[in-house]
Amino acid sequence: MLDQFGLINMNGRMYDPVLGRMLSPANYVQEPGMTQSYNRYSYVWNNPLRYTDPSGQVVVVDNLIIVVFTGVYNLATNLSNLDGNGWKAFRYFGVGFVAGFTGGYAGSAATGAILSGGNALLDGLSWENAALSAATVAATGYVGSEIGKQIAPVK
């Protein structure tokens, strides 16, 4: 903090909390597909609750929050399948944890595929059925995402 100026030193750049903007522009456009990348005075695509930028160069998803939430959510939605088995509870959490981590980088279709396939295996389905379930969820998620982009494009 630079209290005398009311600024926050973010190590990479200086942030003015009154303006809600950095005082200097980012050095380059990180993600050309995201419109917020072109606002070089914003911090982490105007979403500081989800992303961080410790170096001032690369936006990083705060994976810990996402993966723990996804793990807990997957465990909670499969409580009826536990049959009093603590290790199975840990495995449901693990499937959600891995899905949340992967989804931060590969998107929601990958998250759905991992959740669907992993849960199918834990529920006793064969590898073939689990793979079919994962592929179906991934394809449905991808197609739904593409349709959504056509209906309401990001500007």
**What would the pLDDT profile of 85-118 be if each residue is shown by its tens digit?**
888 898 999 998 888 877 766 777 888 899 999 9
Residue 17 confidence (pLDDT):
83
Same domain, 99 and 143: yes
Same domain, 69 and 145: yes
Same domain, 47 and 29: yes
Same domain, 140 and 69: yes
Residue 60 confidence (pLDDT):
57
Same domain, 54 and 74: no
Same domain, 86 and 17: no
Domain hosting 70: range is: 63-151
**Which sign, positive or negative, has the C-alpha torsion 60, 69, 137, 95?**
positive
Same domain, 76 and 118: yes
The values of phi and psi at residue 39, to 5°, are -90, 85
Same domain, 74 and 106: yes
Indicate the pTM of the whole model.
0.55
Nearest to 43 by CA among 55, 106, 33, 104: 55
* Residues in the chain where the model's pLDDT stays below 50: none
User: Helix 86-106 to helix 63-77 angle, to the nearest 10 degrees?
Assistant: 140
The total number of structural domains in the chain stands at: 2
